[in-house]
Amino acid sequence: MLTDDELLRYSRHILLAGIDIEGQLRLKNSKVLIVGLGGLGSPVALYLAAAGVGELHLADFDRVDSSNLQRQILHETASNGQPKTASARQRLHALNPLIRLQVHERQLDSTSLEQLVPGMDLVLDCTDNFAIRDQLNRACVAHAVPWVSGAAIRLSGQVTLFDPRQADSPCYRCLFPDTAENGPGCNEAGVLGPLVGVVGSIQAAEAIKHLTGLGRTLRGRLLLVDMGSSQFRELRISRDPHCPVCGD
208-247 tens-digit pLDDT: 999 999 999 999 999 999 999 999 999 999 999 999 999 9
Q: Give residues with Cβ within 8 angstroms of 8, minimum separation 6.
A: none
Q: What are phi and psi of 21, to 5 degrees?
A: -65, -40
pLDDT at 179 over 80: no
Instruction: Please tell me the predicted confidence (pLDDT) of residue 129.
Output: 86
88-147 tens-digit pLDDT: 999 999 999 999 999 999 999 999 999 999 999 999 999 988 899 999 999 999 999 999
Sign of CA dihedral 74, 204, 224, 36: positive
Set out the domains of the chain in order of their start, with CATH numbers. 11-236 (3.40.50.720)
Q: What are phi and psi of 46, to 5 degrees?
A: -65, -45
pLDDT class of 71 with cuts at 50, 70, 90? very high
Instruction: Please tell me the predicted confidence (pLDDT) of residue 189.
Output: 79
pLDDT at 182 over 70: no
